[in-house]
């Protein structure tokens, strides 16, 4: 399926009821180049759900509660042919299950926003769905409000050794994983490492509560799993790559109309057109061939222009991200008010 594979991202957004937050999310998804996005805490009421669809993500599934709290959404990129056979959405907005097919692979995808505290009934409900409705390879993604290994996955201010005993919800998650033979995808690639996805300001503590859990049969298909930086949300995005046999994401070039918004770009394009027709207009070349070929030349120029502008923009973004990562790492090592 190509070197990039199918990228799945998960992020707790802590509310999407403002246009600004929705724009930030869609910008994040575009920058991440993900094919499937699992979003938690949309805070949409079931009676009024804002659309998250755009050209890049035309397919969305949601589970919302009656009140403006909780809520999950799964967004599928236009290049990802995930054919859904079954959808199960929680009326309380805690989970969304999709069963479908990508190429020849059957996949069950759970989007989870687990209760913030001990709630065995929740895990009993998820277990029932898993045993009666799931099919094929299984992937859980989301905010579990619990960690698999407290000694590695929790850290309080001034604490260098984690929280060995953990919390009751940690024990519930561990039991759920053992009962269903689920594996922590990030830990699979980072054994012994410590990194975190959520910082609690009131408690000055870090935790890795955002997770991908996968069935044993799915493990060989996951070459990478990573944790991003905490930026506009109070959670870090997490992502993993899924290598599905005989699947290649579709791609087609489209003109980025913003390239034509600046006069200097239009002048550059006009010069390219003049040069092309001056250099290639010949009695031996038919007008039809000349016209058709110019489209390829101009498209190549526009791709180069877009790539150049993207590199300039990314250079600035990378510099800011490096600074953010540096301070975030320092704060993870030793949480302090000065850095938060």
The catalytic residue positions are 113, 143, 235
Distance CA 170, CA 89 (A): 24
Radius of gyration from C-alpha coordinates of the chain? 23
Binding residues for Mg(2+): 12, 41, 143, 145, 234-235
SS3 74: strand
Kindly list the distances between the CA atom of residue 32 and the CA atoms of 60, 73, 314, in Å, as whole numbers in the listed order: 17, 17, 12
Instruction: Report which of 169, 165, 113, 127 is spatially closest to residue 146, judged by C-alpha positions.
Output: 169
Q: How many beta carbons lie within 10 A of that of residue 34, not counting itself?
A: 26
Write out the two tokens for 106.
């059957």
For the chain, give percent helix, strand, coil, nearest 5: 35, 25, 40
How far CA 75 is from CA of 36, 190, 251, in Å, comes to: 6, 27, 18
Contact 101, 131 (CB under 8 A): no
* Helix or strand (DSSP H, E) at 288: helix 287-333
Q: Are 213 and 126 in contact (CB under 8 A)?
A: no
Copy the structure tokens of residue 302. 């526009």
Q: Are 243 and 252 in contact (CB under 8 A)?
A: no
Other CB atoms within 10 Å distance of the CB of residue 261 = 9
Question: Do residues 71 and 96 lie in contact, with contact meaning Cβ atoms separated by under 8 Å?
Answer: no
Report how far residue 313's alpha carbon sits from residue 307's, in angstroms, rounded to the nearest whole number.
Answer: 10
């Amino acid at each position: 399926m190509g070197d990039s594979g199918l990228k799945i991202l998960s992020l707790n957004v802590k509310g999407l009821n403002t246009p600004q937050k929705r724009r930030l999310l869609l910008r994040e998804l575009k920058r991440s180049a993900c094919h499937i996005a699992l979003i938690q805490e949309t805070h949409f009421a079931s009676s009024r759900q804002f659309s998250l669809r755009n050209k890049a993500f035309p397919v969305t599934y949601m589970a919302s509660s009656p009140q403006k709290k909780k809520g999950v959404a799964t967004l599928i990129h236009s290049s990802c042919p995930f054919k859904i056979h079954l959808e199960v959405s929680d009326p309380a907005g805690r989970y969304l299950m999709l069963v479908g097919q990508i190429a020849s692979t059957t996949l069950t995808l759970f989007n989870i926003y687990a209760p913030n505290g001990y709630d065995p009934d929740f895990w009993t409900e998820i277990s029932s769905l898993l045993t009666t409705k799931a099919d094929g390879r299984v992937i859980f993604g989301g905010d579990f409000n619990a960690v698999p290994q407290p000694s590695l996955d929790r850290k309080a201010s001034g604490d260098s050794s984690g929280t060995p005993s953990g919390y009751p919800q940690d024990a519930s998650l561990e039991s759920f994983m053992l009962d269903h033979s689920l594996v922590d995808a990030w830990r699979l690639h980072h054994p012994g490492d410590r990194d975190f996805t959520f910082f609690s300001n009131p408690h000055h503590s870090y935790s890795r509560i955002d997770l991908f859990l996968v069935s044993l049969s799915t493990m060989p298909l996951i070459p990478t799993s990573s944790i991003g930086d905490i930026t506009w949300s109070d959670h870090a995005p997490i992502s993993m790559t899924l290598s599905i046999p005989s699947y290649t994401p579709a791609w087609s070039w489209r003109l980025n109309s913003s390239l034509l918004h600046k006069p200097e770009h239009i002048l550059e394009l006009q010069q390219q057109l003049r040069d092309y027709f001056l250099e290639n207009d010949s009695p031996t070349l038919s007008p039809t061939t000349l016209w058709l070929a110019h489209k390829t030349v101009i498209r190549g120029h526009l791709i180069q222009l877009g790539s150049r502008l993207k590199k300039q923009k990314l250079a600035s973004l990378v510099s800011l991200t490096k600074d953010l990562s540096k301070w975030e790492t320092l704060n993870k090592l030793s949480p302090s008010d000065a850095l938060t």
